[in-house]
Chain A
Amino acid sequence: MRYMLIMRSTSEAQTAAKDIPFDDIINAMGEYNESLIKAGVLLGGEGLTDAKEGLVVDFASTPPVVTDGPYAEAKELFSGFWILETSTKEEAAEWARRCPLGPGSTLEVRRIIEASEFDQDNEHIKREVAWRAENEQGVVAG
């Protein structure tokens, strides 16, 4: 099963992190990522730049409104993610526990939905079934 580790931190924690030598952070994260790679569980992940560089598109009105910077009411800022493939939720949680983060940061562990879990009666899926019926001349077994 695939899980996303969603990293959030308060702006205080992000400010505090600026006092730690950048190399130390990079090294600790590098070591952590390497342990995920060596265990064969890391599928992907990215870190995000400062939320101040970003934009928020709010759909409260039509057309949606675009504003600069982070969402005003957010206390914790989304700052990066990992995608892991593990056999259980507990294993994903155990990997999350090992992440070199400090106070003010959280990792939320969420399971990624698999294609097979989507509604089979959905219009797109129905079209696929029709498409398959028109294409029944297969030779090679997948």
Chain B
Amino acid sequence: MTAETGSGAAENAGRSRRAVEAVWRIESARIVATLTRIVGDLGLAEDLAQEALVDALAQWPKSGVPRNAGAWLTAVAKRKAIDGWRRAERRGQRYAAMGHDLASRVDPDAPPWDPNQIDDDLLRLVFISCHPVLSREAQVALTLRVVGGLTSEEVARAFLVPTATVQQRIVRAKKTLSAAKVPFEVPDRSEYPERLSSVFGVLYLIFNEGYAATAGDDWMRPELCHEALRLARQVAELVPREPEAHALVALMELQASRFGARTTRTGEPILLLDQNRAKWDRAQIVRGQKALVRADATGRGRGSYGLQAAIAECHATAPTAGDTDWGRIVLLYEALGRLAPSPVVELNRAVAVSMAVGPASALRIVDQLVDAGDLAGYHLLPSVRGELLARLGRKKEARREFERAARLTGNERERSVLLAKSAAL
């Protein structure tokens, strides 16, 4: 074999591996959801699906990707489930009872999933991945892995942690769900709003991790934002009558529309009002606005994501920073503060007030926050206070605040911007 055909073969192998991975990315959630309903355990279902994937990686490069790849993977996983049961029965293990039930329900030639059932199963998968019995870290890892179809390596890369850490989190999460006997079902009415808000919380956390990376040199990790947006769009289609599902999509689209304008060529963050609006993604802004219209069309009012999306829309639709309707933004933050009181919302309201009314009124709000002490350790508090003091001409105090903010931020890029501001005073 010549070197050339050797590298050609390696290239082909790489290409077929990527083709298998693409199918996995598209189909894995439906496969795992279907299997979980059948075997009654998410951990076992995921293991079976992963084993089917290993088979696909061995066979498809030679045989080609089957026309209905999802059906192939599901059938192989079901067969493995039955084989596992038979082995267990031979050994007289107690899983035999579960296996019997399974064999009576599994027809390996049946279509991969019932079209009338699959959306319910996917929704159950979303809820179980974000179940409150799990830690936030576990919810995030499990959601990206089983709903998003990412590999543990991909999740690890996105969160800058070792792959082993992600694998551990997933193994532990599966064990926790089994131990707590968490049923594979959509929560009932009494729990529904709270459980749904937990799902939204997980998705928004993933988005924010990408949007303002809390660690490392990169201020943004757009892939993570895209992943969150994709998951949010999926969830919105699963619960189309929930206004906050569409509002969350709207919020993410509107914020993500600024990606191209958020950093300088060398990677320093550019603040919203300094951004070149010509670089905002107009098509994405329109998608965000449409999602907000869909949220409003449910006729159930605006929740906290709806209000945040409306604020983002105010920025997105102002032709220049000077055209921003700060009065409206103040009202929206007031509404948000009443709905979901939080010191971070107060801080943002203070910024809006500084633009609508002036820095002195805003400083009073910020000083109350400083006195309350809730945001001690949050770098944006001294950062905003520094800006307000600078605008009031109190340079020495402003410098001190910027330096304090620089000490508190975990992001290198942001630190250098803050120190530059202090130095410029």
Contacts and interface: CB of A to CB of B under 8 A. Distances in A.
Interface of A: 37-41, 43-44, 85-88, 90-91, 93-95, 97, 114-116, 120, 128, 131-132, 135-142
Contact of A132 (B26, B65, B212, B276): B276
Interface residues of B, number: 51
Interface of B: 15, 18-19, 21-23, 25-26, 65, 119, 212, 223, 226-227, 229-234, 237, 255, 258-262, 265, 269-276, 278-279, 281, 283, 287, 321, 348, 351, 354-355, 380, 383-384, 387-388
Contacts of A116: 259-260
B354 A85 contact: no
A140 B273 contact: yes
Contacts of B279: 115, 128
Contacts of A38: 119, 234, 237
Contacts of A97: 65
Contact of B287 (A41, A43, A87, A136): A43
A73 B227 CA distance: 42
Contacts of B270: 132, 138, 142
Contacts of B260: 114-116
15 contacts: A37-B237, A38-B237, A40-B232, A40-B233, A87-B223, A87-B226, A87-B227, A90-B15, A94-B19, A94-B23, A136-B274, A138-B273, A141-B212, A141-B383, A142-B258
A94 B272 contact: no
Given A37-B237, A38-B237, A135-B274, 5 more contacts: A38-B119, A40-B230, A90-B22, A115-B281, A142-B271
Contacts of B278: 128
A117 to B, nearest CB: 10
Contacts of A128: 276, 278-279
Given A91-B26, A115-B260, A142 B265 contact: no
A132 B25 CA distance: 40
A141 B269 contact: yes
A41 B230 contact: yes
Question: By CB atoms of chain B within 10 A, which of A37, A39, A40, A140 has the most?
Answer: A140
Contacts of B233: 37, 40
